[in-house]
């Protein structure tokens, strides 16, 4: 009997100890879980910061896009090739730009060119893209005052119609009968002779500087 009583008391004591130790174990586990979560959060935050730093560094390493590069991304080929400036004769403007560029064998920085022709940076940049697509100019990217820009060089001068403007031949009523040996001939045409004399007597235009 005494032995059974001792065993019973021993079981009770063990149960009491287990009851006492259980909250301590749970508390330790809970604390450990919290610490793990906290550690995981810190690691995630650190990883995020590293990624953001790498992304920022990558963006900083990449050269700043020029206005032309932005326009090439925004505009279609058709929009570039058909570019027009309101109330501006684009053919005359193109001829003037090309004649001006012809004076510079090494090309000219585009911002200087746009100032000369009183064009905004956006209009000038779109015109440069158009002229390049037409094969009239070339653009060379350079770093100027810590900013990327372009030097424009003439590739080929477009054919100008200025030399034959107001020519009587353009509105001649007997053009179909005109030939070197015909009844109507450029050799004997009074209209053509008068026009030629008039053109030769005009003062010559100064070359664009």
Q: Is residue 47 part of a domain?
A: yes
124 exposure class (CB count in 10 Å sphere: 0-12, 13-18, 19+): buried
List, in sequence order, every residue forming a beta bridge with 178; answer none if it has no partner. Answer: 184
**How confident is the chain (209 residues) per 10-residue block, as mean pLDDT?**
55 60 58 68 72 61 71 86 89 87 89 91 91 91 87 77 70 80 82 79 56
Determine the Cα–Cα distance for residues 142 and 60; give it in Å rounded to an integer.
18
Residues 143, 101 share a domain: yes
pLDDT given at position 178: 83
Tens digits of residue pLDDT in 58-102: 545 555 777 788 888 888 888 888 999 988 888 888 888 888 898
Q: Is residue 14 part of a domain?
A: no
pLDDT given at position 76: 87
Residues 171, 145 share a domain: no
Q: Is residue 1 part of a domain?
A: no
**Prediction pTM value:** 0.48
Domain boundary among 129, 154, 179: 154
pLDDT given at position 208: 46
Q: Is residue 51 part of a domain?
A: yes
List, in sequence order, every residue forming a beta bridge with 147; answer none if it has no partner. Answer: 144
Domain limits at 139?
A: 67-154
Determine the Cα–Cα distance for residues 10 and 195; give it in Å rounded to an integer.
134
Residues 90, 126 share a domain: yes
Residues 83, 56 share a domain: no
């Amino acid at each position: 009997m005494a032995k059974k009583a001792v065993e019973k008391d021993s079981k009770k004591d063990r149960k009491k100890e287990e009851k006492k130790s259980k909250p301590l174990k749970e508390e330790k586990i809970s604390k450990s879980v919290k610490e793990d979560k906290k550690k995981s959060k810190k690691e995630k935050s650190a990883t995020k910061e590293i990624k953001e730093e790498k992304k920022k560094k990558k963006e900083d390493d990449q050269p700043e896009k020029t206005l032309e590069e932005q326009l090439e991304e925004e505009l279609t080929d058709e929009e570039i090739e058909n570019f027009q400036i309101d109330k501006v004769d684009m053919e005359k403007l193109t001829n003037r730009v090309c004649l001006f560029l012809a004076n510079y064998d090494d090309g000219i920085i585009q911002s200087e060119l746009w100032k000369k022709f009183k064009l905004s940076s956006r209009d000038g940049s779109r015109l440069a893209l158009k002229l390049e697509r037409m094969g009239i100019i070339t653009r060379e990217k350079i770093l100027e005052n810590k900013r990327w820009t372009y030097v424009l060089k003439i590739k080929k001068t477009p054919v100008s119609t200025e030399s034959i403007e107001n020519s009587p031949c353009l509105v001649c009523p007997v053009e179909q009968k005109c030939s070197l040996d015909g009844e109507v001939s450029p050799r004997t045409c009074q209209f053509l002779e008068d026009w030629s004399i008039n053109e030769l007597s005009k003062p010559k235009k100064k070359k664009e500087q």
